[in-house]
């Protein structure tokens, strides 16, 4: 027996004061309607209505059940409507965990326009340098490096994996320009590094990986810190193209070793926007669409996306 459906039908009977009237409203025969009510009474072990050939009245137990069940059903209907609203209308809190640089320089500038378009969505964004974060456990969307192997996760590619060795014109005037990756061992290198990670840059030379151990005056787990140091002429950076494109275009940084594809150990992947596969809440769907449509053209690789 569907107890919820039976309670709803009992409410219709009480409201109309007639089993036959409630049966017609629900498209049931009077016999089927009577059976439904009898089954509910049998389930509860008590009579809910006093029936005569001409009238129907609730027993004391029926009146008490009606009062309490009506309140509970109304609350349940409100809860279901609220959940449907989350699915159909962008609203509620959208929790995003993002790579620090991308969150600050790409997502943050888009938030005013996103909120203007979707005022019922509250954005909770956490910045991290971790690379193994995935959606779930309260996290709606993740912006991270690399596409996970988990088939339950959808990945939208946001950037290329192109990385550039770059420095300021002042640095090159002082230290010269490296001609091959091995030359970097005698240059000041500004190294992206977390605890226990090696200070090594890897380059493709004649289609083979060559690892160059590098050193320099600054190591940091912040691309912004390294960028500032490079602009100040303190050394060379190996950073993603999307992080350095503006400074290279303006001439503040100059790229070298263009012939060699390079990356830092553990950081070869492009950035991806991740979410769980299946029906997305409207708030998540709205943000995914908004980010892919409005991110800067130099980051836009959606046509190569893993959607």
* Residue pLDDT, tens place only, 167-208: 999 999 999 999 999 999 999 999 988 766 778 899 988 888
Which domains are seen in the chain, by residue range?
3-86 (1.10.10.10), 92-159+272-304 (3.40.190.10), 163-264 (3.40.190.10)
Q: In angstroms, rounded to a whole number, what is the distance separating the alpha carbons of residues 264 and 164? A: 11
Which range (82-86, 150-154, 213-217, 261-265) has the least confidence?
82-86
Over residues 292-306, mean pLDDT: 55
Where are the extended beta strands (E) located within the chain?
Answer: 49-51, 56-58, 92-99, 121-128, 141-145, 153-157, 163-167, 188-192, 200-205, 208-213, 215-220, 236-240, 254-256, 262-264, 271-276
Phi then psi for residue 188, to 5 deg, are: -80, 115
| Orientation angle between helical segments 19-26 and 3-16, nearest 10 degrees | 120
Predicted local distance difference test score (pLDDT) of residue 65: 86
Taking the whole predicted model, whether its pTM rises above 0.75 is answered as no
Q: In angstroms, rounded to a whole number, what is the distance separating the alpha carbons of residues 7 and 37? A: 9
**Reported confidence tier of residue 270, pLDDT bands at 50, 70, 90:** confident
- 238 to each of 105, 230, 256, how far by Cα in Å? 18, 10, 10
């Amino acid at each position: 027996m569907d107890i919820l459906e039976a309670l709803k039908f009992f409410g219709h009977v009480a409201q109309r004061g007639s089993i036959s009237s409630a049966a017609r409203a629900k498209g049931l025969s009077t016999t089927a309607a009577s059976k439904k009510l009898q089954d509910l009474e049998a389930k509860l072990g008590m009579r809910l209505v006093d029936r005569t050939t001409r009238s129907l009245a609730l027993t004391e137990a029926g009146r008490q059940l009606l009062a309490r069940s009506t309140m509970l059903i109304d609350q349940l209907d409100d809860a279901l409507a609220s959940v449907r609203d989350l699915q159909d209308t962008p609203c509620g809190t959208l929790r995003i965990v993002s790579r620090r640089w991308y969150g600050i320089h790409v997502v943050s500038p888009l938030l005013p326009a996103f909120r203007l378009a979707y005022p019922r969505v509250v954005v909770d964004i956490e910045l991290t340098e971790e690379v193994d974060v995935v959606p779930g456990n309260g996290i709606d969307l993740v912006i991270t490096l690399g596409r996970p192997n988990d088939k339950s996760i959808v990945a939208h590619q946001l950037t290329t994996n192109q990385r550039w060795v770059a420095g300021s014109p002042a640095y090159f005037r002082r230290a010269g320009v490296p001609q091959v990756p091995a030359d970097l061992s005698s240059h000041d290198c500004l190294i992206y590094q977390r605890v226990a990670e090696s200070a090594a840059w890897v380059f493709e030379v004649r289609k083979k990986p060559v690892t160059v151990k590098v050193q320099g005056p600054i190591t940091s787990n912040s691309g912004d810190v390294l960028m500032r140091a490079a602009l100040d002429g303190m050394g060379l950076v190996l950073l993603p193209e999307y992080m350095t494109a503006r400074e290279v275009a303006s001439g503040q940084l100059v790229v070298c070793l263009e012939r060699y594809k390079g990356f830092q150990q553990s950081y070869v992947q492009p950035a991806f926007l991740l979410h769980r596969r299946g029906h997305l809440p409207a708030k998540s769907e709205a943000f995914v669409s908004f980010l892919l449509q409005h991110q800067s053209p130099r980051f836009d690789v959606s046509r190569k996306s893993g959607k």
